[in-house]
């Protein structure tokens, strides 16, 4: 059978738009550019990341968020690989999605199975999705070494697997696994696998940089060649083993690729996949290629945080566009300039991706930066107010001692309110005691804490046990205060970190404790520093409680 070859000149991609950082880019003429499709594989590739495990319910929740964001395709999983994915495809049928099409993913048939008897192929059909993404080998090395079959046999497997699914009424997208490595090793054979997929009925051909080792200039050149050879729309699926997944995806689009695949936050096996949280704003805001529409890009940070939470991962605060630090300013010169015009140190308006500007107060900050932070607490001070000068001096002294307020803005607000006389403590510590007792070598130690506090004229003396000394102290403090402040039952300790500050002193070193707490509305960080880890923990715990009890109208 003669392979189909697309004739004629390839349409060129648009150039990077001009314009100021906060102005709308000068978009290319979209009539001359191919459309773009966003294909999310967080629920399949992302689930293969180390430390990530989605339940079927988790997958449904994430799928709803991706649909709200406006992605066109959601790869739900591999129904032949595990029961959770089978359950997800059963559950998602009952969920009305407005924008997205759910796709099942799987491999071509095994060489030893006739296609009509292959369990993996039948599992894909049982998932009952209108579209199936099928992956096959395009690198001869993988064909002969991993599969142990001939190059010709591999073509036969690709062809009859796709043909069988098409006969069953399914749309098929073909993932050419290891395509870029295969092309560099043997371009003729790599292209032959694509032709075979297209002849069998594949509606999309996805070029996969499965090992993540391709450079952007290679990607651009290879994609341009394939686009001339292939009659169906192409996609790009890049891994991040050389930190090039986003760059490779963008240059592939410049070369005429129309479907971009990736995951939220770039999670995935090994070093991860192409990060849609970078790709999507780069396409819309830098390349003038709207892909979500209806200003849904403003939900990007929300979706990023949601996936992080569901995956039970620590947020990457330094992630471009959506991270907490993406528009955070610490240096005094930076803060002063941004207060005059945000475009001086911000390449876009943060709200366009759902983020916000933050002014970090530290020993690098000047009066302007501190004044801006104070105003966010609803406190008005002039630049010449002595309280502002005293607060700045106190802040720098505390940071010199080892305190850090960049991740502890709850403690910073309390410090500010105390400095300007705007804080009335909710309780007074009269004392605490923590006992750790190990009774037998083969049993874990027992931790018990006793706390005595004064609230108004009432004195409360309580004790509690916990999984460790800090956990016991936390329980005892809450137990003492909840009868006075029932809203403390809403507070959860979300994260606890200890940093040794003076390691040269060994076990006598000073430590910094950072605690993240939260309720149903917000999260806040608090800090404590001491040579005694329990004292540092107490400072952070007490600040966490005090922050929660601040007046709601502040």
User: Which structure tokens are listed for 226?
Assistant: 């394939």
**For residue 217, pLDDT beyond 50:** yes
Show the DSSP H helices in 96-215 as ranges: 119-126, 140-142, 151-167, 179-185, 187-200
Between 138 and 337, the more confident residue is 138
Residue 292 has pLDDT above 80, yes or no: yes
Cβ proximity of 285 and 26 under 8 Å = no
3-class SS shares of the chain: helix, strand, coil, % to 5 = 40, 20, 40
Per-residue pLDDT averaged across 75-98, rounded?
Answer: 93
Q: What percent of the chain has pLDDT over 70?
A: 91
Q: Residue 312: CB partners within 8 Å, gap ≥ 6?
A: 51, 52
The pTM assigned to this predicted structure is 0.71
Binning pLDDT at 50, 70 and 90, where does residue 156 land?
very high
Q: How far apart, in whole angstroms, are the C-alpha atoms of residue 43 and residue 47?
A: 6
Closest CA to 68 of 328, 336, 292: 292
Could you tell me the residue ranges of all domains in the chain?
A: 32-310, 328-401, 403-408+491-554, 427-484
Q: What's the mean pLDDT in 360-383? A: 71
For the stretch 184-192, contacts whose Cβ atoms lie closer than 8 Å and that sit 24 or more positions apart, written own/partner, are 184/218, 184/222, 185/139, 185/140, 185/141, 186/140, 187/225, 189/138, 189/140, 189/151, 190/138, 190/139, 191/226, 191/229, 192/3, 192/155
CA distance 363 to 259: 47
CA–CA distance from 164 to each of 69, 93, 118, 125, 141 (Å)?
Answer: 33, 23, 11, 10, 26
* Lowest model confidence (mean pLDDT) among 270-279, 340-349, 383-392: 383-392
Q: pLDDT at position 362, please? A: 56
pLDDT at 365 over 50: yes
Region 41-53 average pLDDT: 95
CATH code of the region 403-408+491-554: 3.30.160.340
Q: Give the 3-state secondary structure of residue 307.
A: helix
User: CA-to-CA distance for 101 and 80, rounded, in angstroms?
Assistant: 19
Q: Among 347, 346, 4, 348, which residue's Cα sits nearest to residue 359?
A: 346
Query: What pLDDT was estimated at residue 437?
Result: 93
pLDDT of residue 32: 59
What's the distance, Cα to Cα, between the start and end of the chain in Å? Answer: 74
Residue pair 421/381 in contact (Cβ under 8 Å)? The answer is: no
Superfamily, domain 32-310:
Aldolase class I (3.20.20.70)
Query: Tens digits of per-residue pLDDT, 421-454?
Result: 888 899 999 999 999 999 889 888 999 999 999 9
Q: In whole angstroms, what is the distance from residue 234 CA to residue 39 CA? A: 12
């Amino acid at each position: 059978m003669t392979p189909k070859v697309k004739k004629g000149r390839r349409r060129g991609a648009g150039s990077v738009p001009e314009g100021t950082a906060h102005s709308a880019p000068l978009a290319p003429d979209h009539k001359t550019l191919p459309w773009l499709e966003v294909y999310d594989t967080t629920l399949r590739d992302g689930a293969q990341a180390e430390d990530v495990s989605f339940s079927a319910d988790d997958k449904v929740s994430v799928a709803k968020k991706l649909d709200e964001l406006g992605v066109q395709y959601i790869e739900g999983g591999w129904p032949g690989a595990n029961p959770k994915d089978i359950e997800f495809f059963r559950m998602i049928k009952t969920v009305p999605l407005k924008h997205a099409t759910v796709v099942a993913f799987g491999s071509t048939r095994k060489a030893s199975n006739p296609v009509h008897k292959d369990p993996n192929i039948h599992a894909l059909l049982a998932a009952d999705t209108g579209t199936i993404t099928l992956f096959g080998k395009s690198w001869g090395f993988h064909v002969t070494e991993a599969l142990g079959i001939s190059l010709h046999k591999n073509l036969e497997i690709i062809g009859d697997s796709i043909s069988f699914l098409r006969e069953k009424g399914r749309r098929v997208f073909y993932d050419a696994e290891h395509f870029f490595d295969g092309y560099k090793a043997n371009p003729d054979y790599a292209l032959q696998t694509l032709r075979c997929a297209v002849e069998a009925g594949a509606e999309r051909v996805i070029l996969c940089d499965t090992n993540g080792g391709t450079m952007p200039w290679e990607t651009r050149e290879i994609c341009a060649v394939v686009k001339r050879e292939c009659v169906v729309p192409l996609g790009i699926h890049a891994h991040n083993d050389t930190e090039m997944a986003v760059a490779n995806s963008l240059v592939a689009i410049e070369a005429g690729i129309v479907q971009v695949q990736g995951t939220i936050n770039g999670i995935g096996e090994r070093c991860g996949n192409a990060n849609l949280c970078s790709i999507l704003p780069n396409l819309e805001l830098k390349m003038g290629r709207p892909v979500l529409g209806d200003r849904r890009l403003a939900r990007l940070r929300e979706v990023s945080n949601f996936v992080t939470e569901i995956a039970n991962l620590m947020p990457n605060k330094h992630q471009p566009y959506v991270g907490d630090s993406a528009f955070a300013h610490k240096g005094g010169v930076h803060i002063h300039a941004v207060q005059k015009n945000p475009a001086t140190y911000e390449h876009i308006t943060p709200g366009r991706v759902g983020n916000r500007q933050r002014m970090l107060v530290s020993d690098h900050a000047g009066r302007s930066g501190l004044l801006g932070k104070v105003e966010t607490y609803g406190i008005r001070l002039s630049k010449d107010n002595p309280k502002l000068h005293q607060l700045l001096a106190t802040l720098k002294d505390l940071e010199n001692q080892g305190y850090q307020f960049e991740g502890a803005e709850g403690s910073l607000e309390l410090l500010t309110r105390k400095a300007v006389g705007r804080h009335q403590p909710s309780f007074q510590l009269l004392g605490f005691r923590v006992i750790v007792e190990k009774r037998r070598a083969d049993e874990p130690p027992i931790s018990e804490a006793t706390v005595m506090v004064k609230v108004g004229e009432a004195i409360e003396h309580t004790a509690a046990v916990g999984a460790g000394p800090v956990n016991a102290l936390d329980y005892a403090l809450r137990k003492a205060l909840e009868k006075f402040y029932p809203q403390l039952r809403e507070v959860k300790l979300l994260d606890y970190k200890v940093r040794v500050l003076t390691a040269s002193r060994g076990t006598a070193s000073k430590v910094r404790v950072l605690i993240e707490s939260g309720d149903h509305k917000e999260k806040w960080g608090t800090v404590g520093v001491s040579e005694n880890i329990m004292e540092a923990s107490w400072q952070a715990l007490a600040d966490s409680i005090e922050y929660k009890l601040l007046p709601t109208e502040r």
